[in-house]
Amino acid sequence: MLTASVFSYMGSDDLVSYVAQVRTFPILSEEEERRLAENWYRRGSVADAHRLVTSHLRLVVKIAMGFKSYGLPIMELIMEGNIGLMQAVKRFNPDLGFRLATYAVWWIKASIKDYILRSWSCIRVRRRQAQKKLFFSLRKIKKRLLGCGTSMTKQEIKAIAEECATSEEEVERMDRFFANRDVSLNEQVQGEGSVELQDLVPSLLPSQEVMYLADEESAIKKSMFDSALSTLDDRHRDIFTRRRLQERPDTLEKLSEEYGVSKERVRQIELQALCKIKSFIEANRVNVGCNVYLVEKNRDWSIYTAVQEGQRFCYLLSFPVKHGDGEPRGDAAIMVTRVSDVFDEVSVTFGIKYGNKPVVLTVDQKKSYSVSIIDDQVAWAENADIDSALIDAFKRGLSMSAVGYAEDGRKIESVYSLRGFSKSYERMKKVCGGGN
Crossing angle of helices 129-146/154-163, nearest 10°? 130
Going by the DSSP 8-state scheme, the letter that residue 320 receives in this structure is: P
Give the pLDDT score at 127. Answer: 57
Going by the DSSP 8-state scheme, the letter that residue 316 receives in this structure is: E
Domain identity same for 108 and 164:
no
Domain identity same for 343 and 266:
no
Domain identity same for 361 and 405:
yes
Would 192 be classed as within a structural domain? no
Is the per-residue pLDDT at 412 higher than 80?
yes
CB atoms within 10 A of CB 390: 23
184 or 242, greater pLDDT: 242
193 or 27, greater pLDDT: 27
Percent of the chain with pLDDT over 70: 75
Domain identity same for 255 and 327:
no
Q: What's the half-sphere exposure (Cβ side, CA atoms, 13 Å) at 423?
A: 12
Domain limit, last residue, from 256, 287, 318: 287
Please check whether residue 122 is in contact with residue 137, taking contact to mean a CB–CB distance below 8 angstroms: no
Would 184 be classed as within a structural domain? no
Would 334 be classed as within a structural domain? yes
Please check whether residue 381 is in contact with residue 348, taking contact to mean a CB–CB distance below 8 angstroms: no
Please check whether residue 335 is in contact with residue 343, taking contact to mean a CB–CB distance below 8 angstroms: no
User: CA 132 to CA 112: how far, in whole Å?
Assistant: 12
Domain identity same for 299 and 403:
yes
**Would you place residue 328 in the very low, low, confident or very high pLDDT band (cuts 50, 70, 90)?**
very low
Percent of the chain with pLDDT over 90: 9
Domain identity same for 115 and 51:
yes
Domain identity same for 318 and 332:
yes
Which of 413, 361, 433 lies closest to 392 in space, CA to CA?
A: 361
**Would you place residue 142 in the very low, low, confident or very high pLDDT band (cuts 50, 70, 90)?**
low
3-state secondary structure of 306: strand
Domain identity same for 271 and 302:
no
Is the per-residue pLDDT at 287 higher than 50?
no
Would 358 be classed as within a structural domain? yes
Give the pLDDT score at 133. Answer: 64
Please check whether residue 37 is in contact with residue 90, taking contact to mean a CB–CB distance below 8 angstroms: no
Give the pLDDT score at 176. Answer: 65
The model's pTM is 0.40
Which of these ranges, 144-153, 202-211, 376-385, has the smallest mean pLDDT?
144-153
Summarize the confidence of residues 264-282 as an average pLDDT.
Answer: 80
343 Cβ contact partners less than 8 Å away, ≥ 6 residues apart: 384, 387, 435
DSSP letters, 161-172, are: HHHTTS-HHHHH
CA distance to 13, 20, 23, 253, per residue, from 17 (Å): 8, 5, 10, 92
Domain identity same for 226 and 162:
no
Count of domains forming the chain = 4
Task: List the strands of the sheet with 311-318, edge to edge.
Answer: 291-297, 301-308, 311-318, 333-339, 343-349, 378-380, 368-374, 359-363, 399-405, 411-417, 321-322
**Would you place residue 19 in the very low, low, confident or very high pLDDT band (cuts 50, 70, 90)?**
confident
User: CA 374 to CA 430: how far, in whole Å?
Assistant: 30
**112: domain range?**
2-119
Distance of CA 206 to the CA centre of its chain: 15
Would 188 be classed as within a structural domain? no
Give the pLDDT score at 361. Answer: 87
Would 186 be classed as within a structural domain? no
Domain identity same for 301 and 419:
yes
**Would you place residue 286 in the very low, low, confident or very high pLDDT band (cuts 50, 70, 90)?**
very low
149 or 178, greater pLDDT: 178
Give φ, ψ of 108 to 5 degrees: -65, -50
Give the pLDDT score at 242. Answer: 92
Residue 159 CB-density burial (10 A; 0-12 exposed, 13-18 middle, 19+ buried) = middle
Rg of the Cα atoms in the chain: 37
Per-chain mean pLDDT for the chain? 77
134 or 15, greater pLDDT: 15
Q: What is the pLDDT of residues 1-18, one digit of tens each?
A: 444 444 444 444 578 888
- Cα-Cα-Cα-Cα dihedral sign, residues 42, 44, 47, 49: positive
Cross-strand pairs, 318 = 301, 334
Domain identity same for 245 and 140:
no
Give the pLDDT score at 60. Answer: 92
Give the pLDDT score at 131. Answer: 62
**Would you place residue 57 in the very low, low, confident or very high pLDDT band (cuts 50, 70, 90)?**
very high
Would 306 be classed as within a structural domain? yes
Is the per-residue pLDDT at 260 higher than 70?
yes
